[in-house]
Amino acid sequence: MRVVVDTNIIFSLLLQKKSKFRKRFFQKDVEIFAPNFLMIEIIRHKEKLLKNSKLEEAEVIELLHLILQKIHFINEMTISMPNKIQAYEWCKDIDETDTPFVALALDLESSFWTGDKKLRAALEQRGFHKFFKAV
């Protein structure tokens, strides 16, 4: 099963010692995809992640390494323009930074895994219903 993962899911994996998502994230039947922009988001929030994590810094780094190995990163330039435009139209009023994730889910015709309830509700209202359920 192909799944595009949102940044907030990765943050959840890194912030909690026992994340309910961790087991599902690492299962072999789940192929995880993300736009390269995910790396920018991680770098941008690195200090906040380390400060708020219940893990030691070395544990965060080790876990992040495992997480990044599981993700198939996709260059945003390869996403079709119609899907980028559609995703932008859906995301612009909520959070534009979610655009590449939604566009990639459209491009791959895959499920989208997000913990952002506001984004999910807005996407559902606008016609996107392909969400991944971790549990």
Check residue 22 and give its pLDDT. Answer: 84
More confidently predicted of 26 and 82: 82
Q: How far apart are the first and last CA of the chain?
A: 15
Question: What pTM did the predictor assign?
Answer: 0.92
Calculate mean pLDDT across residues 108-131: 95
Distance CA 105, CA 23 (A): 22
Report the percentage of the chain scoring pLDDT > 70: 98
Q: What is the mean pLDDT of the chain?
A: 92
Q: Distance of CA 7 to CAs 47, 71, 82, Å?
A: 15, 12, 23
Check residue 92 and give its pLDDT. Answer: 94
Give the chain's domains with CATH numbers: 2-126 (3.40.50.1010)
Would the pLDDT of 17 be above 80? no
Would the pLDDT of 18 be above 80? no
Task: Give tens-digit pLDDT for 50-91.
Answer: 888 888 889 889 999 999 999 999 999 999 999 999 999 999
Report the alpha-carbon angle 67-117-132, nearest 5. 50
